[in-house]
Chains A and B, each alone.
Chain A
Amino acid sequence: MNYRLKKTLRILTFAIILLGIWEGLFALHLWPVWLFPAPAAVGKTLLRGFSDGSIPVAILVSIRRLLIGFFISIVIGTLLGLFLAKNKTAEDTLHPFILGLQTLPSICWLPLALLWFGLNERAILFVIVMGTVLSITISVKGAISHIPRSYLKAGKMLGAHGFLLYRHILFPAILPSYIHAMRHGWSFAWRSLMSGEMLFVTAGLGQLLMLGRELNDLSRVMAIMAVIIFIGFLFDQTIFAKLEKNLKLRWGV
């Protein structure tokens, strides 16, 4: 049996045991059904949500917001990080300010966003961007500042000046940190989005989750939670973890 198959089997066994414990606890009737639903009930709600289209639509709405917010954050964060790394005055003044702002949980931007933009799509995008852009800025700035000077010197001696130095030395040198920053930024964006969606009502997974609460339907709450976890895990593992692993293999770090 090869290693991969063995690993998959182990994970499957673990999942089955977890479900077994859950089912066992349910069978003991320690708590009322509406507070502690059976795994089968959650599964059924999940299936119903997919077949009536409510979950797929919510997923699409949420991911669309996430992608737009993430893209804006990447562009602004990268440019701002570059600026901070290359401008001494900005590094001394703006950088500590950004470090301070970054400590603010992204959902704290929501009241401000609602007053500025109203109850609409732009408010939620603003919350995503504010929750993501600063972390990307700080990472990009750090990555550029920590490029070994020897790479830059070697690049210059080999004729990489101006734009060429950026394109062929600076960018590839920060790429591992950059991907790490994106991975981090992505999880920040995902969290910000969910908090935003839960607090004011528009389509999306966060709202579906709150709807479950309002209907006192715990199986619905758990089903949506499972979807949210699964999507977060999927993006993190299939895109960012893979990119990071490939780079690490090549760099030998």
Chain B
Amino acid sequence: MTLPSSTTLRIQHISKQYGRSSGHALVALEDISCEVSAGEWVCLVGPSGCGKSTLLHIIASLDRSTSGSIEVHGSIGFMFQEPTLFPWLNVQENVGFGLRMQKVDANVISQKTDTYLKMVGLSEYKPAYPHQLSGGMKQRAALARMLILDPDILLMDEPFGSLDTQTKEQLHEDLERIWRETKKTIVFVTHDVYEAVRLGDIIHVFSSHPGRIKTTIPVDLPRPRSSTEERFLRLAQQVRNELDNEPHDRV
């Protein structure tokens, strides 16, 4: 176990370029450095194409950086923008998948699956197949599938991006509760300013072309936060101003 104040994730001078050889190198990320403490919830906000998602993939070793280094203390769980539940498995089998890969005893898998399905409120949907679930339920199942492996760090890549506002808010509440109970470290990518202010301890605002951390804004509002509070709105406006100074995605 790491101490609550210790650094869980250290990102140093990460850069990522595409098409190095062709001369027209596209710089996706330029000299990103930041640290994440254990139990901290960090949000990465930026316009699309700013490389925030690429950074998350690099942290998870799903992608490679051109230069720089990353130190990770602890295990990693990843949640994708699309639910990526496996359509050939039902909800129970999807959630138990990671444990099955570790050759865990079937009874233990069954017990743990029950626990985590309960945690995300899907106990009644054990035998359902992914196509029978709504978008929000799919992401709940994907969340349980990640949490069951008990990772220290949750990397979440716009996991609620395609959900309607109401479902999103419900999931924010639930994720915040789970985060409080499990004391995970979270790095959360979003392009939704309200979502970032609602959830993050710290917000790194990215600029694009090339992707860089432009500003870092701490959010010292008490939880759970309400988007109708004045201080919330002020902070959201501050983040938005940083983003608005950004040229929007150019074709």
Tell me how many residues of A have a C-beta within 8 Å of chain B. Answer: 21
Within 8 A of A (CB), among B136-194: 145-146, 149
A159, B78: Cβ atoms closer than 8 Å = no
How many angstroms from the CA of A175 to the CA of B98 in the assembled complex? 21
List residues of chain B with CB within 8 A of the CB of A151: 84, 86
Interchain nearest-CB distance for B88 vs A (Å)? 4
Q: Flag whether A252 is at the interface (Cβ < 8 A).
A: yes
Q: A154-B86, A168-B100 are in contact. List 12 more A-B contacts (CB 8 A).
A: A151-B84, A153-B80, A157-B60, A157-B77, A158-B149, A159-B149, A169-B86, A250-B88, A251-B88, A252-B87, A252-B130, A252-B132
Interchain nearest-CB distance for A175 vs B (Å)? 7
Interchain nearest-CB distance for A32 vs B (Å)? 58
List residues of chain A with CB within 8 A of the CB of B149: 158-159
Tell me how many residues of B have a C-beta within 8 Å of chain A. Answer: 24
B129, A168: Cβ atoms closer than 8 Å = no
Q: Which one, A153, A158, A252, contacts B62 given CB within 8 A?
A: A153
Chain A, residue nearest B151 (CB): A157
Give B contacts to A, CB under 8 Å. Answer: 60, 62, 76-78, 80, 82, 84, 86-89, 97-98, 100-102, 129-132, 145-146, 149
B129, A250: Cβ atoms closer than 8 Å = yes
B129, A251: Cβ atoms closer than 8 Å = yes
Interchain nearest-CB distance for A171 vs B (Å)? 9
List residues of chain A with CB within 8 A of the CB of B131: 251-253
How many angstroms from the CA of A151 to the CA of B101 in the assembled complex? 15
Among B88, B130, B149, which residue has the most Cβ atoms of chain A within 10 A?
A: B88
How many angstroms from the CA of A172 to the CA of B129 in the assembled complex? 14
Q: Flag whether A51 is at the interface (Cβ < 8 A).
A: no
With A252-B129, A252-B130, A252-B131 as contacts: A159 and B101 at CB distance below 8 Å: yes
Q: Which one, B78, B88, B102, contacts A173 given CB within 8 A?
A: B88
Per-residue B-contact encoding for A155-177, CB less than 8 Å = 1, 0 else: 11111100010001100110100
Per-residue B-contact encoding for A138-162, CB less than 8 Å = 1, 0 else: 0000000000101101111111100
How many angstroms from the CA of A144 to the CA of B100 in the assembled complex? 23
Interchain nearest-CB distance for A116 vs B (Å)? 42
